[in-house]
Each structure stands twice: as structure tokens, then as C-alpha cells.
Amino acid sequence: MILETERLRLRRLTVDDAAFVLELVTDPAFLANIGDKGVRDLEDARRFILSGPWAAGQPPGFGQLLVERKRDGAALGVCGILRRANLELTDVGCAFLPPYWRQGYATEAALAVIGYARTELGVDEIVALTAPHNLASIGLLESLGFRYQRTVKMNEHDPGTLVYG
């Protein structure tokens, strides 16, 4: 376990979390708001956990964490801090399964991750990235005190990703 809040535990993803990762990254809302990660089955999910963008090339202590509810151990989503070398920035990012939306879990997890990044990892400047059409994410970011800064292209196919800082 890396972090604990009043209601949540955040820990490193392991290959044992493959079924959850498969469910999360193939959810229609994830695909629409974050994008297709090419995960189609459990083996893809295991590879993604071990060598995908949530882990590979990340400095020690960085990466996505599994967010579990304390009271029953349910896997709710992921939240973590990622170094985006191509953009020369560090961002906090979350993704939760729809049944766990609008219950304050993303806010609670993001605040814990931001605190961890600042105190344990020494990250001074933290931004957040979101799709322009993801109004729920924009609302979350603004409630956390982030404000729109600029639009960037994550890759050649990206129509534009909003940077909030």
C-alpha cells in the first residue's frame, strides 16, 4: 500500500489486477474520455500493467495506483502521478468505473496523490490533463483548484488535450 485516506487505500497495480484493468480500460466512458489502450483480453491487461504507460518509463514512485474502498476492498478505479516526458510535465490522473462516480472517491484519491507527489516525490508543479468534452473531469479539476492553462497534442492523432494547472 502506498496511500491511505479515510475511505480508500491506494496501492501499486499487480498482474493480479488484470481483470479489473481490463474492465476499466474497455469501459465505454474510459474509451471516450481517455482513449483506447489496446487492451482486449486478460493477457493484454497483464502486459499493460507491467509495461504500459502507467508504469513503463516512470520514475520511482510514479505511476497509476489501484484505488480500493477500505470497507469492502472493492476496486473502484486508478489514480496516480505520471511524468509526461514528451510534454515535460507531471500530471495527476484518475479513472473510475461508472458505478463509483459522484461519490467523492476521485477527489479523495486525487488529493492524496497530489499530497504524496509533493511531499514524498518532491514534485513542485503538478498539472492535470483531460479531453475538452470531458465535463465531469473538468469539474473535478476545477473543484481541486486547477485552472485551464493551454491545449496540447499528446500525439499526432490527438485533436487536443486540455492542460489544467
Please, what are the domains in the chain? 3-164 (3.40.630.30)
Please tell me the predicted confidence (pLDDT) of residue 112. Answer: 98
What average pLDDT does the segment 103-124 reach? 97
d(CA 91, CA 164): 9
d(CA 82, CA 135): 22
The yes-or-no verdict on residue 46 having pLDDT over 90 is yes
Residue % of the chain over a pLDDT of 90: 93
The yes-or-no verdict on residue 86 having pLDDT over 90 is no
Query: How sure is the predictor about 102, in pLDDT bands with cuts at 50, 70 and 90?
Result: very high
Query: How sure is the predictor about 56, in pLDDT bands with cuts at 50, 70 and 90?
Result: confident
The yes-or-no verdict on residue 155 having pLDDT over 90 is no
**Strands, E, within 16-127: which ranges?**
63-69, 75-84, 89-96
> What average pLDDT does the structure give for the chain?
96
Q: How many helices (H) does the chain have, and how many strands (E)?
A: 5, 8
The yes-or-no verdict on residue 1 having pLDDT over 80 is no
Please tell me the predicted confidence (pLDDT) of residue 68. Answer: 98
Assess contact for 17 and 66: CB atoms under 8 A: yes
